[in-house]
Amino acid sequence: MTTPRQALVIGATGGVGGAIADRLLADGWQVRAINRDPATAAQRSGRSGLEWVRGDAMVQADVVAAAQGCEIIVHGANPPGYKNWAGLQMPMIRSTIAAAQATGARILFPGTVYNYGPDAFPRIDERSPQTPRSRKGAIRVRMEQALRDAGVPVLIVRCGDFFGPRPGNNWLSQGIVRAGRPITSVMAPGPMDVAHTWAYLPDVAETFVRLLDTDLGAVEVVQMKGHEITGRELVAGLEAAAGRKLKVNRLPWPALMLAAPFNESLREMLEMRYLWNEPVLLDDTALVARLGAEPRTPLVEALRTALAGQSSLPVGEGQLAGGEQGGGVSILPAI
Protein backbone atom coordinates (compact mmCIF):
# COMPACT_ATOMS: atom_id res chain seq x y z
CA MET A 1 0.00 0.00 0.00
CA THR A 2 1.22 3.50 -0.83
CA THR A 3 1.23 6.24 1.78
CA PRO A 4 -1.36 8.95 1.04
CA ARG A 5 -0.02 12.31 -0.05
CA GLN A 6 -0.45 14.87 2.70
CA ALA A 7 -1.71 18.45 2.51
CA LEU A 8 -2.30 21.25 4.99
CA VAL A 9 -5.24 23.56 4.31
CA ILE A 10 -5.31 26.97 5.98
CA GLY A 11 -8.87 28.27 5.74
CA ALA A 12 -10.68 24.96 5.32
CA THR A 13 -13.92 26.50 6.63
CA GLY A 14 -13.85 29.06 3.82
CA GLY A 15 -14.86 28.83 0.18
CA VAL A 16 -11.56 28.29 -1.63
CA GLY A 17 -9.84 26.30 1.12
CA GLY A 18 -12.89 24.12 1.65
CA ALA A 19 -13.35 23.40 -2.06
CA ILE A 20 -9.70 22.41 -2.49
CA ALA A 21 -9.86 20.26 0.65
CA ASP A 22 -12.92 18.45 -0.76
CA ARG A 23 -11.15 17.81 -4.06
CA LEU A 24 -7.96 16.57 -2.42
CA LEU A 25 -9.92 14.18 -0.18
CA ALA A 26 -11.72 12.81 -3.24
CA ASP A 27 -8.33 12.17 -4.83
CA GLY A 28 -7.10 10.16 -1.84
CA TRP A 29 -4.99 12.82 -0.10
CA GLN A 30 -4.66 12.95 3.66
CA VAL A 31 -5.81 16.49 4.44
CA ARG A 32 -4.99 18.36 7.63
CA ALA A 33 -6.78 21.58 8.59
CA ILE A 34 -5.64 24.14 11.16
CA ASN A 35 -7.97 26.19 13.33
CA ARG A 36 -7.92 27.87 16.74
CA ASP A 37 -10.99 25.84 17.71
CA PRO A 38 -10.82 22.50 15.83
CA ALA A 39 -14.02 21.04 17.30
CA THR A 40 -16.15 24.03 16.31
CA ALA A 41 -14.46 24.28 12.92
CA ALA A 42 -15.10 20.61 12.19
CA GLN A 43 -18.79 21.04 13.01
CA ARG A 44 -19.03 24.29 11.05
CA SER A 45 -17.32 22.93 7.95
CA GLY A 46 -19.56 19.85 7.72
CA ARG A 47 -16.71 17.99 6.04
CA SER A 48 -15.77 14.44 6.94
CA GLY A 49 -12.29 13.09 6.45
CA LEU A 50 -10.34 16.18 7.52
CA GLU A 51 -7.74 15.91 10.27
CA TRP A 52 -8.28 19.01 12.39
CA VAL A 53 -5.37 20.36 14.44
CA ARG A 54 -5.29 23.26 16.87
CA GLY A 55 -3.34 26.32 15.77
CA ASP A 56 -3.46 29.96 14.73
CA ALA A 57 -2.61 31.01 11.16
CA MET A 58 -1.06 34.17 12.63
CA VAL A 59 1.45 32.13 14.65
CA GLN A 60 4.33 30.81 12.54
CA ALA A 61 5.25 28.02 14.95
CA ASP A 62 1.69 26.68 14.84
CA VAL A 63 1.62 26.54 11.04
CA VAL A 64 5.12 25.04 10.82
CA ALA A 65 4.10 22.27 13.23
CA ALA A 66 0.86 21.58 11.35
CA ALA A 67 2.69 21.37 8.02
CA GLN A 68 5.09 18.60 9.02
CA GLY A 69 5.02 15.79 6.45
CA CYS A 70 2.90 17.79 4.01
CA GLU A 71 3.62 18.05 0.29
CA ILE A 72 1.44 21.12 -0.24
CA ILE A 73 0.07 23.98 1.86
CA VAL A 74 -3.16 25.54 0.64
CA HIS A 75 -3.33 29.18 1.72
CA GLY A 76 -7.08 29.75 1.67
CA ALA A 77 -7.25 32.13 4.65
CA ASN A 78 -9.09 35.38 3.97
CA PRO A 79 -10.50 37.80 6.58
CA PRO A 80 -14.31 37.96 6.11
CA GLY A 81 -16.09 41.16 5.23
CA TYR A 82 -12.86 42.84 4.05
CA LYS A 83 -12.07 43.51 7.72
CA ASN A 84 -8.53 44.29 8.94
CA TRP A 85 -6.71 43.12 5.83
CA ALA A 86 -3.77 45.35 6.72
CA GLY A 87 -3.34 43.67 10.10
CA LEU A 88 -4.01 40.06 9.13
CA GLN A 89 -3.04 39.23 5.56
CA MET A 90 0.74 39.71 5.67
CA PRO A 91 1.28 37.92 9.04
CA MET A 92 -0.75 34.95 7.79
CA ILE A 93 1.14 34.64 4.51
CA ARG A 94 4.43 34.90 6.39
CA SER A 95 3.33 31.97 8.57
CA THR A 96 2.56 29.92 5.45
CA ILE A 97 5.92 30.83 3.91
CA ALA A 98 7.76 29.84 7.10
CA ALA A 99 6.00 26.45 7.04
CA ALA A 100 6.93 25.89 3.40
CA GLN A 101 10.55 26.83 4.08
CA ALA A 102 10.66 24.37 6.97
CA THR A 103 9.07 21.46 5.10
CA GLY A 104 9.77 22.01 1.39
CA ALA A 105 6.02 22.01 0.66
CA ARG A 106 4.56 23.84 -2.33
CA ILE A 107 2.20 26.71 -1.50
CA LEU A 108 -1.12 26.79 -3.38
CA PHE A 109 -2.41 30.35 -3.48
CA PRO A 110 -5.64 31.66 -5.08
CA GLY A 111 -4.92 34.94 -6.85
CA THR A 112 -7.47 37.71 -7.47
CA VAL A 113 -8.10 40.57 -9.89
CA TYR A 114 -7.66 43.04 -7.01
CA ASN A 115 -3.99 43.28 -8.05
CA TYR A 116 -4.94 45.20 -11.19
CA GLY A 117 -6.13 48.66 -12.17
CA PRO A 118 -7.79 49.88 -15.36
CA ASP A 119 -4.43 50.01 -17.18
CA ALA A 120 -4.58 46.19 -17.34
CA PHE A 121 -8.21 45.97 -18.51
CA PRO A 122 -10.09 44.51 -20.25
CA ARG A 123 -8.03 41.35 -20.79
CA ILE A 124 -5.50 40.52 -18.06
CA ASP A 125 -2.67 38.06 -18.69
CA GLU A 126 0.29 36.92 -16.60
CA ARG A 127 2.41 39.85 -17.84
CA SER A 128 -0.11 42.62 -17.17
CA PRO A 129 1.13 45.43 -14.88
CA GLN A 130 0.00 45.16 -11.30
CA THR A 131 -0.96 48.71 -10.39
CA PRO A 132 -3.91 48.27 -8.00
CA ARG A 133 -6.34 51.05 -7.20
CA SER A 134 -7.27 49.86 -3.72
CA ARG A 135 -5.57 49.21 -0.41
CA LYS A 136 -6.67 45.59 -0.60
CA GLY A 137 -5.17 45.26 -4.05
CA ALA A 138 -1.86 46.66 -2.82
CA ILE A 139 -1.86 44.08 -0.02
CA ARG A 140 -2.53 41.26 -2.50
CA VAL A 141 0.41 42.45 -4.61
CA ARG A 142 2.64 42.42 -1.53
CA MET A 143 1.48 38.91 -0.64
CA GLU A 144 2.31 37.56 -4.10
CA GLN A 145 5.67 39.32 -4.09
CA ALA A 146 6.47 37.75 -0.72
CA LEU A 147 5.66 34.33 -2.20
CA ARG A 148 7.93 34.96 -5.21
CA ASP A 149 10.79 36.13 -2.98
CA ALA A 150 10.51 33.30 -0.44
CA GLY A 151 12.53 30.68 -2.33
CA VAL A 152 9.78 28.06 -1.97
CA PRO A 153 7.71 26.33 -4.68
CA VAL A 154 4.48 28.23 -5.34
CA LEU A 155 1.42 27.71 -7.53
CA ILE A 156 -0.83 30.75 -8.01
CA VAL A 157 -4.12 30.30 -9.85
CA ARG A 158 -5.77 33.65 -10.54
CA CYS A 159 -9.57 33.72 -10.73
CA GLY A 160 -12.48 36.09 -10.95
CA ASP A 161 -15.22 36.43 -8.34
CA PHE A 162 -15.81 33.14 -6.54
CA PHE A 163 -19.14 31.39 -6.08
CA GLY A 164 -19.90 27.84 -5.05
CA PRO A 165 -22.09 25.16 -3.49
CA ARG A 166 -21.86 26.70 -0.02
CA PRO A 167 -22.76 30.25 1.02
CA GLY A 168 -19.73 32.24 2.02
CA ASN A 169 -17.76 35.45 1.75
CA ASN A 170 -18.50 36.15 -1.92
CA TRP A 171 -20.49 38.54 -4.08
CA LEU A 172 -23.06 36.02 -5.27
CA SER A 173 -24.28 34.88 -1.85
CA GLN A 174 -23.76 38.17 0.01
CA GLY A 175 -24.23 40.80 -2.67
CA ILE A 176 -26.26 39.59 -5.62
CA VAL A 177 -28.57 36.94 -4.18
CA ARG A 178 -29.69 37.05 -0.58
CA ALA A 179 -28.96 33.67 0.99
CA GLY A 180 -31.52 31.83 3.11
CA ARG A 181 -34.68 32.77 1.20
CA PRO A 182 -36.18 31.79 -2.17
CA ILE A 183 -34.74 33.95 -4.90
CA THR A 184 -37.07 36.69 -6.18
CA SER A 185 -34.80 39.57 -7.18
CA VAL A 186 -31.18 40.41 -8.01
CA MET A 187 -29.09 43.42 -6.95
CA ALA A 188 -26.87 44.48 -9.85
CA PRO A 189 -23.55 46.08 -8.76
CA GLY A 190 -22.65 47.44 -12.21
CA PRO A 191 -23.90 48.18 -15.74
CA MET A 192 -25.84 45.22 -17.11
CA ASP A 193 -23.91 45.06 -20.40
CA VAL A 194 -20.42 45.00 -18.84
CA ALA A 195 -18.65 41.61 -18.88
CA HIS A 196 -17.27 40.21 -15.62
CA THR A 197 -15.43 36.99 -14.83
CA TRP A 198 -16.77 34.46 -12.30
CA ALA A 199 -15.07 31.34 -10.92
CA TYR A 200 -17.06 28.33 -9.70
CA LEU A 201 -15.21 26.97 -6.67
CA PRO A 202 -15.28 23.25 -7.62
CA ASP A 203 -13.72 24.26 -10.97
CA VAL A 204 -11.03 26.23 -9.13
CA ALA A 205 -10.26 23.23 -6.92
CA GLU A 206 -10.18 20.91 -9.94
CA THR A 207 -7.74 23.24 -11.67
CA PHE A 208 -5.37 23.36 -8.71
CA VAL A 209 -5.35 19.57 -8.29
CA ARG A 210 -4.87 18.84 -12.00
CA LEU A 211 -1.98 21.28 -12.16
CA LEU A 212 -0.21 19.41 -9.35
CA ASP A 213 0.21 16.50 -11.74
CA THR A 214 1.94 18.65 -14.39
CA ASP A 215 5.59 19.65 -14.62
CA LEU A 216 5.57 22.76 -12.43
CA GLY A 217 8.42 25.19 -12.07
CA ALA A 218 9.49 26.87 -8.86
CA VAL A 219 6.92 29.66 -9.12
CA GLU A 220 3.98 29.10 -11.47
CA VAL A 221 1.20 31.60 -12.17
CA VAL A 222 -1.78 30.69 -14.36
CA GLN A 223 -5.21 32.23 -14.81
CA MET A 224 -8.72 30.85 -15.12
CA LYS A 225 -11.02 32.41 -17.68
CA GLY A 226 -14.02 31.11 -15.76
CA HIS A 227 -17.45 32.30 -16.80
CA GLU A 228 -17.17 35.57 -18.73
CA ILE A 229 -20.69 36.99 -18.60
CA THR A 230 -22.47 40.32 -18.55
CA GLY A 231 -24.92 41.29 -15.87
CA ARG A 232 -27.76 40.39 -18.24
CA GLU A 233 -26.27 36.96 -18.84
CA LEU A 234 -25.87 36.41 -15.11
CA VAL A 235 -29.53 37.25 -14.52
CA ALA A 236 -30.57 34.97 -17.38
CA GLY A 237 -28.48 32.17 -15.87
CA LEU A 238 -30.00 32.72 -12.44
CA GLU A 239 -33.50 32.70 -13.95
CA ALA A 240 -32.80 29.42 -15.74
CA ALA A 241 -31.30 27.94 -12.56
CA ALA A 242 -34.21 29.06 -10.38
CA GLY A 243 -36.89 28.39 -12.96
CA ARG A 244 -38.48 31.82 -12.54
CA LYS A 245 -38.28 35.41 -13.74
CA LEU A 246 -36.32 37.73 -11.49
CA LYS A 247 -36.63 41.41 -10.70
CA VAL A 248 -33.39 43.36 -11.17
CA ASN A 249 -32.53 46.14 -8.70
CA ARG A 250 -29.51 48.41 -8.83
CA LEU A 251 -27.03 48.32 -5.98
CA PRO A 252 -27.49 51.69 -4.23
CA TRP A 253 -23.87 52.84 -4.24
CA PRO A 254 -24.72 56.43 -3.10
CA ALA A 255 -26.52 55.07 -0.05
CA LEU A 256 -23.57 52.83 0.73
CA MET A 257 -21.27 55.85 0.55
CA LEU A 258 -23.36 57.57 3.22
CA ALA A 259 -23.22 54.51 5.49
CA ALA A 260 -19.55 53.68 4.83
CA PRO A 261 -18.06 55.94 7.56
CA PHE A 262 -19.84 53.78 10.12
CA ASN A 263 -19.10 50.35 8.59
CA GLU A 264 -15.64 49.01 7.77
CA SER A 265 -16.92 46.37 5.33
CA LEU A 266 -18.83 48.98 3.32
CA ARG A 267 -15.81 51.30 3.23
CA GLU A 268 -13.64 48.52 1.88
CA MET A 269 -16.30 47.35 -0.57
CA LEU A 270 -16.59 50.82 -2.11
CA GLU A 271 -12.94 50.60 -3.14
CA MET A 272 -13.82 47.68 -5.41
CA ARG A 273 -16.62 49.43 -7.29
CA TYR A 274 -14.33 50.12 -10.26
CA LEU A 275 -14.17 46.36 -10.97
CA TRP A 276 -17.88 46.42 -11.91
CA ASN A 277 -17.83 49.48 -14.14
CA GLU A 278 -15.79 48.07 -17.04
CA PRO A 279 -14.90 44.61 -18.37
CA VAL A 280 -12.45 42.66 -16.20
CA LEU A 281 -11.46 39.42 -17.95
CA LEU A 282 -8.68 36.86 -17.51
CA ASP A 283 -6.62 35.17 -20.25
CA ASP A 284 -6.37 31.40 -19.70
CA THR A 285 -3.94 30.62 -22.56
CA ALA A 286 -1.21 29.33 -20.24
CA LEU A 287 -3.65 27.15 -18.31
CA VAL A 288 -5.14 25.60 -21.45
CA ALA A 289 -1.62 24.89 -22.74
CA ARG A 290 -0.97 22.85 -19.59
CA LEU A 291 -4.30 21.06 -19.17
CA GLY A 292 -5.70 20.99 -22.71
CA ALA A 293 -8.90 22.65 -21.50
CA GLU A 294 -9.97 24.65 -18.49
CA PRO A 295 -12.31 22.84 -16.07
CA ARG A 296 -15.63 24.67 -16.40
CA THR A 297 -19.01 23.52 -15.11
CA PRO A 298 -21.90 24.76 -17.29
CA LEU A 299 -23.11 28.10 -15.93
CA VAL A 300 -26.72 27.17 -15.16
CA GLU A 301 -25.67 23.95 -13.44
CA ALA A 302 -23.14 25.84 -11.32
CA LEU A 303 -25.64 28.57 -10.42
CA ARG A 304 -28.34 26.02 -9.54
CA THR A 305 -25.93 24.24 -7.20
CA ALA A 306 -24.92 27.54 -5.63
CA LEU A 307 -28.54 28.61 -5.11
CA ALA A 308 -29.39 25.24 -3.57
CA GLY A 309 -26.41 25.46 -1.24
CA GLN A 310 -27.45 28.84 0.08
CA SER A 311 -31.15 27.86 0.40
CA SER A 312 -32.21 30.26 -2.36
CA LEU A 313 -33.96 27.89 -4.77
CA PRO A 314 -37.74 28.36 -5.04
CA VAL A 315 -39.93 25.51 -3.80
CA GLY A 316 -42.95 24.15 -5.69
CA GLU A 317 -42.83 26.48 -8.68
CA GLY A 318 -44.31 25.34 -12.01
CA GLN A 319 -42.13 25.23 -15.10
CA LEU A 320 -42.39 28.01 -17.65
CA ALA A 321 -41.89 27.51 -21.35
CA GLY A 322 -38.27 26.76 -22.15
CA GLY A 323 -37.59 25.41 -18.67
CA GLU A 324 -38.16 28.74 -16.83
CA GLN A 325 -40.64 29.58 -14.07
CA GLY A 326 -42.19 32.76 -12.69
CA GLY A 327 -40.67 34.38 -9.55
CA GLY A 328 -37.81 36.70 -8.26
CA VAL A 329 -34.14 37.43 -6.76
CA SER A 330 -32.36 40.01 -4.51
CA ILE A 331 -28.71 41.23 -4.73
CA LEU A 332 -27.21 43.04 -1.70
CA PRO A 333 -23.67 44.28 -0.97
CA ALA A 334 -21.08 41.58 -0.36
CA ILE A 335 -20.24 42.34 3.25
pLDDT at 317: 43
Helix crossing, 15-26 with 201-212: angle to 10°? 50
pLDDT at 293: 98
How far is Cα 17 from Cα 60, in angstroms, rounded to an integer?
19
pLDDT at 320: 32
pTM for the model stands at 0.91
First-to-last C-alpha distance (Å) of the chain? 47
How far is Cα 311 from Cα 178, in angstroms, rounded to an integer?
9
Show contacts of 312-315: CB within 8 Å, 24+ apart: 312/177, 312/178, 312/179, 312/180, 312/181, 312/182, 312/183, 312/242, 313/182, 313/183, 313/241, 313/242, 314/182, 314/183, 314/242, 314/243, 314/244, 315/182
Sign of the alpha-carbon dihedral angle for 288, 149, 13, 67 = positive
How far is Cα 58 from Cα 18, in angstroms, rounded to an integer?
19
Judging by beta carbons within 10 Å of its beta carbon (0-12, 13-18, 19+), is residue 295 exposed, middle or buried? Answer: middle
| Model confidence pLDDT, tens digit, residues 136-162 | 999 999 999 999 999 999 999 999 999
pLDDT at 82: 66
Low-confidence ranges of the chain (pLDDT < 70): 1, 81-82, 316-335
Strand order in the sheet with 161-163: 161-163, 195-200, 227-230
| Model confidence pLDDT, tens digit, residues 300-326 | 999 999 999 999 998 754 333 233 333
pLDDT at 188: 95
77 CA to centre of own chain: 10
